[in-house]
Amino acid sequence: MDQGPAITGKSIPRIDGPVKVRGQAKYAAEYDVADLLHAAIVSASIAKGRVISIDAAAAKNFPGVVAVLTHKNRPWFWPFSFLYKDLAGPPGKPFRPLYDDRVLFSGQPVALIVADNYEAARDAAALVSVSYEREQHATDLAVEVSKAYKPPRHRLGLAPTPHPTGDADRAFLASPVKVEASYTTAAENHHPMELFATTVEWSDKIVTVYDKTQSPKSVEIFLKVALRLFRRKVRVVSSFVGGAFGLGLRPQQSVILAVLAAKALKRSVRLVLPRDHMFALGYRANAIQTVSLGADENGRLLAIKHQAVAATSQSEDAQDPMLNFSASLYRCDNVKLTYQLAKLDTVSPCDMRAPGAATGMFALECAMDELAYAINIDPLALRLANYTERDQSENRPFSSKALRECYLQGAERFGWAKRSHAPRSMRKGKELIGWGMATGVWEAAMSPAPARVKVSLLADGRFEVTTSITDIGTGTYTILTQIAADALGAPRERVVVKLGDSALPFNPIQGGSWTAATSGSAVQAACDKLKKKILLRAKQTGIVGNGQATELLSPAALADLLKLSGSDNLSATATIINVKFGKKYASATHSAVFAEVRIDEELAVVRVTRLVCTVAAGRILNPATARSQIIGASVMGIGKALYEDAATDHNLGRCMAHNFADYHIPSNADVYDIEVLFVEETDDKVSPIGVKGLGEIGSVAVAPAIANAIFHATGQRMRDLPITIDRLTRLSD
């Protein structure tokens, strides 16, 4: 009756689009709460040392100011740092704002002004003067690289850097063709559109926290344990999140400080961290890498050596899968990967879209391009010559791998065959033209922790789907609606999806590109269960003779059913546990990106005039939102290649690019044509619904494709990101 054609796999417009454009979607800082206090931070100007004194007299006397919190008068904290661990943190001691007098990084909050209006809090914050005892800081990775170390403890949930296979050192030395080069990548900040913000609604029994996070559940647990709210009910709400890119994976300073203040004052408090504080919340670790590739004259890889030293903070060993894909992307018997960290006096680095991969693959894919030119074969042909159907690092097949189709369809679409191989061989007018390509890869995973979804039949015949996970702008509301509608055979108007609330069924963290696969599978399972229940109930109550599901699921039949069975509570819950397929298969999302750049030969003005991104990501639930994911990630890739640099003054130990005038992200003018193609890929193993996830993959291959295109255009290897004009100005000589 109701059942229309399936909508999963169709370009359904975003379910949350209308509320967003009408301004009805509420973000963390937009909740109206009675008697709300407003907080503002005072942050450290030095990178390392101690706070000697804080003169807050003027701030305290400022009209409207209610309190000034510092490490001296904050509520009691656990002295054990392990109690501040969260679901996504690396090994080490998590940063605890206002814990003691130590300054660990420039920008660290050292005082919190709480006032009865926002302006008073902000203005009073400017009146606080802090004196410090300075210590010698270290913020320059190029210097600290000499003290690089292997992280002693491994980050939970992160696949370890693959063990060496064969003898890469020897094989490299013996290789007829060798390339070896070093690459550096700048620290980047996440800069989601929405600022980090928290509104705490305080009461004796229940504390409701409206927070910008990628994990309401993780924040709830953290607040209960670390901030000792275990006697109260804590509810964390993040119905809408204006982007996060990984910076919301861990409980942020905003929620910790706002809840601290609320607890101290027993009042409702809001804290919005300003844009210029973004650099003090986390960053994509800058890194120095060396790649050595050995090959035979036909381009067959004989050795891969990939070394990386990534930045971390003094107190945590932040780790990401920087080298994990270097062992599995190509066929090669001798691989050696060395992943090290170097400590800096900064806030801890934090996962940022395609963490690790975007950095590691930049180096590997540029080195592959260098190899192609060392052998004098086409860069795409080199990839195909080293194509592997097995993940050699673990010696297992892939659950599916349509990377070859990505290469071929992308090349076709881009017109790669018309490329002339020699650098500087294509030009138009005063511009050099360069075509470059690169491969992208990201693990296709399910959430490492179990995820629960509940589906209930409402009295009006609609279905409510609930789970605690957020939609950080990726389209989660929409795809879950599509899956539920199809599973229940109901039109999408009769499906209501509720997300982003820790009071809803447990669903750990939105990250790692696993949300669609995990939550989608859980929705599918819960809906299947509910359908069975409805059929059973129908039989029991005897309302429908033939027991046809389609008839039963019409609103009228369902209303009858609820009436007759004397219950308005018909629901089903499903939990997806990531048993997957153990170690039998490797699973990965792949992409091939083809880039065209045009560069003014004299002035080094670079335009990325064309990007073709081909992606193999299993089943595509919604081509429209999927395409948006890849386009957004590609724009980020352009930023990584050409602009983004959280530049630090090492004399001051301070990031100076802490605003959008100095931290450049691509503007509209910087983004020309981006074409996205999804290739067919059927995978019945990766997740119950055949989905691989799309959040990260789009960010991986864009920067190396652009760097390789710049080489092709200019004949210059640009091994340091971002590729700015000053690095490019030696063009015509």
Partner 1 sequence: MRRFEYLRAASIDQAIERLSFDPGAKLLAGGTNLVDLMKYDVACPTTIIDINDLPLGDIKETSDGGLRIGALVTNSDLAFHPVIENRYPLLASAILAGASAQLRNAATVAGNLLQRTRCSYFYDVMTPCNKRTPGSGCPARNGLNRNHAILGASQDCVATHPSDMCVALAAIGTMIVVQGPNGARSISLADFHRLPGDTPEQDTTLRNNEIILGIELPPAPEFQRYSYLKIRDRLSYAFALVSAAALLTIDDGVISTAHVALGGVAHKPWRDTAAEVVLVGRPASRGNFHQFASMLLSRSEALSQNGFKIELARRTVVRALEQAASRTPQSQSDKRVH
Strand partners, 36: 268
Looking at the Cβ atoms of 40 and 287, the one nearer to partner 1 is 40
Measured from the Cβ of residue 139, the count of other Cβ atoms closer than 10 Å reads: 23
SS3 723: coil
Run of H or E including 217: helix 216-226
SS3 615: strand
First CA to last CA distance, the chain: 73
Run of H or E including 54: strand 49-55
Closest separation in Å from C-beta 717 to partner 1:
18
CB 698 within 8 A of CB 634: yes
Tell me the chain's radius of gyration from C-alpha atoms: 27
Q: How far apart are CA 576 and CA 151, in angstroms?
A: 32
The residue annotated as part of the active site, out of 201, 220, 681, 696, is 696
Closest CA to 20 of 671, 481, 478: 478
| DSSP state letter for 665 | -
Looking at the Cβ atoms of 548 and 659, the one nearer to partner 1 is 659
Looking at the Cβ atoms of 232 and 607, the one nearer to partner 1 is 607
Amino acid identity of 519?
S
Amino acid identity of 431?
E
Q: How far apart are CA 253 and CA 712, in angstroms?
A: 44
Closest separation in Å from C-beta 595 to partner 1:
16
Closest separation in Å from C-beta 723 to partner 1:
11
Amino acid identity of 689?
I
Closest separation in Å from C-beta 117 to partner 1:
13
Strand partners, 441: 590
For residue 537, what are the contacts with CB-CB under 8 A and spacing of at least 6?
561, 565, 570
Looking at the Cβ atoms of 106 and 254, the one nearer to partner 1 is 106
Looking at the Cβ atoms of 376 and 729, the one nearer to partner 1 is 729
Closest separation in Å from C-beta 429 to partner 1:
7
Closest separation in Å from C-beta 628 to partner 1:
22
DSSP annotation string for 479-518: HHHHHHHHHHT--GGGEEEE-SBTTSSP---S-TT-HHHH
CB 697 within 8 A of CB 636: no
Strands (E), 107-257: 109-115, 129-134, 177-185, 197-201, 206-211, 233-237
Question: 702-714 vs 357-375: helix axis angle to the nearest 10?
Answer: 30
Please write down the HEC assignment for all residues of 377-432.
CCHHHHHHHCCCCEECCCCEEECCCCHHHHHHHHHHHHCHHHCCCCCCCCEECCEE
Looking at the Cβ atoms of 106 and 319, the one nearer to partner 1 is 106
Closest separation in Å from C-beta 127 to partner 1:
9
Looking at the Cβ atoms of 45 and 716, the one nearer to partner 1 is 45
Closest separation in Å from C-beta 359 to partner 1:
21
Distances in Å between the alpha carbon of 695 and those of 243, 508, 627?
12, 16, 11
Closest separation in Å from C-beta 119 to partner 1:
7
Active site annotation includes 464: no
Closest separation in Å from C-beta 62 to partner 1:
9
Binding site residues, partner 1, CB under 8 A: 43, 45, 106, 119, 122-123, 126, 276, 429-431, 598, 600, 602-605, 607, 642-643, 647, 649-652, 654, 656-659, 661-662, 664, 666-670, 724-726, 729
| DSSP state letter for 149 | B
Closest separation in Å from C-beta 342 to partner 1:
21
Tokens 């647990």 belong to 221
Amino acid identity of 575?
T
SS3 462: coil
Looking at the Cβ atoms of 125 and 576, the one nearer to partner 1 is 125
Looking at the Cβ atoms of 122 and 533, the one nearer to partner 1 is 122
Which tokens in the block code for residue 645?
């640099």
CB 345 within 8 A of CB 147: no
Closest separation in Å from C-beta 711 to partner 1:
19
Which tokens in the block code for residue 491?
């039109």
Question: 515-541 vs 555-564: helix axis angle to the nearest 10?
Answer: 60
Measured from the Cβ of residue 331, the count of other Cβ atoms closer than 10 Å reads: 14
Strands (E), 523-587: 570-576
Amino acid identity of 720?
D
Q: How many residues does the chain have?
A: 733
Catalytically annotated residues: 696
